[in-house]
Amino acid sequence: MQKYVRPKHFYYPDKKRQTVDNSLTSAMGLDHLTEAMIPFELFKNATPQIISYNWVQLAEIYKNNGFIKLAVDLPVSDCFRNGGYEFDSNTLEAEELQELNDIVHNKDDEKIKQCMRWSRLYGGGSLVINSNQKPEVPLNTNALYQADFDFLACDRWQCFPLSSSLYNAEQFCLVDLETQNKDDIITFDKSRIKTFVGEVQPYFLRNQLQGWGLSILEQIIPQLNQYLKANSVILELLDEAKIDILKIFGLANTLASAGGSEAIRKRVEIFAKQKNFKNVGAMDAQDDYVQKTMSFGGLNEILEKIFLLICSSLRIPYSKVFGRGASGFSSGEDDLENYNAMIMSDLRKPAEDLIKWVGEIRCYQLFGRKVDDLIIKWKPLRVLSEKEQQEVTTSKINSYVQLFNIGVLNRKQIAEQLNKDNIILFSSEELAELENDMDMSDIETEEQEQNLQANQDNKFNLANLFKR
């Protein structure tokens, strides 16, 4: 048996060795805070409890609390603002792209939004294909052509994998939360499910969550608790803002006598009723009455700080959360630009895979084939004013005209670009007429070139004849 050898770089203090510490921190009893003071506060505020597990409480909070609903819904709604997105492909015609965009926007946009909302609230959501095929078998995409089906938006607790982890799940279980009967539990193959994971966490937490993410509420609960506690304190202070003090002569002697407490209580009640209903109070000449009011200086500053903490944890500008514009020299444009950048990186980019999956399924339904080069083009988040929009339109038209003058684009291509930009709409018949006009113009150009060549040949022959 091999003997264990202690590594040299490890230090083990000798039990017989005695040390003497004469530092000031040791004398004051603060030596345990010198090295662990910074992480101690972080560890003390960290909790091993995971709020994402309490899905019933999360649903109740989402229903009752406006801040929670705003934190969940507002970024998702802004993600699809200004038209959201559109599909594009080089293998699809303009009419086919328009048909694909129309059916996805009209039927599936709200389902995609719901899936993303549940992902932010619960840490995960999914879209389920509900068709006439058997749900427990793999999806037959060839049978989707001209078939009628729809998507179901579910959260991670309504549609969950029948496995210990989300990554190796082969089947999912869909539960009807209204009845929760055994007959209402349906098994779906993984080819019919598209999951959308929330806030991705390190391996230790991700393993506990079975591959799902965390709810966004995990990060904003401390700030929200401060806000709710501040409101409760303010309401209590308002109740105690005005205090009436009745100074009764001989109070101590009266309380010392038999029945004194009851007599004092009746005396105070009579005075309070007179003051409340008649605005007149009768007292003994030696009694006194004082009314004290409390001031609330500094509460507005405290609330402002809490509001800023909430906005920073939500990563949403102050004007969008509380409806108040920026103060000082700031116009609010920088806040909106940062917010739009967050929408692009945290919502739009992760949602592309989900939206593209929906578009590919709809392509099987509309065209009976898979479109390999299907891409998503997001529309800008910033809403332009009418003047700015007119300037952009004029600039595009001028650019198209310049490209036409130098021969880069023809009339049909310019008409297609104007139609795509929704500047001037052309029907398919009008585009076909432009193409026919182009063919006729090409024929006329060839005839003119042939006539010009013939005239040059005739001039050359005449010149040779005169030389002879």
pTM of the predicted model as reported, rounded to 2 decimal places: 0.67
Give the pLDDT mean for 119-133: 91
CA-based angle 338:155:222, to the nearest 5? 50
pLDDT band at 256 (very low <50, low <70, confident <90, very high): confident
Would you say residue 447 has pLDDT above 80?
A: no
Residue spans of the domains in the chain: they are 51-218, 220-328
* 64 in Cβ contact with 57 (< 8 Å): no
The residue ranking higher by pLDDT, 13 or 348, is 348
- Per-residue pLDDT, 9: 44
The residue ranking higher by pLDDT, 196 or 416, is 196
Would you say residue 439 has pLDDT above 70?
A: no
Give the relative orientation of helices 109-122 and 66-79 as an angle to the nearest 10 degrees. Answer: 140
Residues 6+ apart with CB under 8 A from 172: 126, 128, 159, 160, 161, 162, 187, 188, 189, 190, 193
CA distance 159 to 118: 11
Give the pLDDT mean for 237-252: 69
Percent of the chain predicted with pLDDT > 90 = 21
pLDDT band at 410 (very low <50, low <70, confident <90, very high): confident
CA distance 53 to 121: 11
Give the pLDDT mean for 261-276: 73
Q: Whose structure tokens read 């090295």?
A: 35
Give the pLDDT mean for 196-205: 83
Q: Whose structure tokens read 């991700």?
A: 206
Q: Whose structure tokens read 């549940």?
A: 118
Instruction: Specify which of 53-62, 167-176, 196-205, 458-467 reaches the highest per-range mean pLDDT.
Output: 53-62
Q: What is the pLDDT of residues 270-314, one digit of tens each?
A: 777 766 655 655 566 566 666 666 666 667 777 777 778 878 777
What is the average pLDDT score of the chain? 77
Which among 231, 106, 124 has a CA at the least distance from the CA of 167? 124
Q: Whose structure tokens read 């036409």?
A: 404
Beta bridge partners of 160: 173
Give the pLDDT mean for 31-47: 57
CA distance 113 to 104: 12
In the numeric block, which tokens belong to residue 437? 């006009």
Would you say residue 433 has pLDDT above 90?
A: no
Helix locations, 406-427, DSSP H? 411-420
Give the pLDDT mean for 230-243: 72
Distances (CA, A) of 286 to 246, 261, 278: 11, 19, 22
Residues 6+ apart with CB under 8 A from 128: 151, 152, 154, 159, 172, 174, 188, 192, 193
Q: What are φ and ψ of residue 200, in 5° steps?
A: -75, 135
The residue ranking higher by pLDDT, 444 or 423, is 423
Instruction: Specify which of 168-182, 245-259, 353-367 reaches the highest per-range mean pLDDT.
Output: 353-367
pLDDT band at 357 (very low <50, low <70, confident <90, very high): very high
Q: What is the pLDDT of residues 322-352, one digit of tens each?
A: 766 655 555 557 778 888 888 998 899 999 9
- Per-residue pLDDT, 28: 47
Which among 192, 155, 152, 200 has a CA at the least distance from the CA of 172? 192
The residue ranking higher by pLDDT, 45 or 460, is 45
Q: What is the pLDDT of residues 54-95, one digit of tens each?
A: 888 899 989 888 888 888 999 999 999 888 899 999 898 888
- Per-residue pLDDT, 295: 66
Weakest-pLDDT range from 183-187, 351-355, 415-419: 183-187
Residues 6+ apart with CB under 8 A from 162: 169, 170, 171, 172, 173, 187
- Per-residue pLDDT, 355: 94
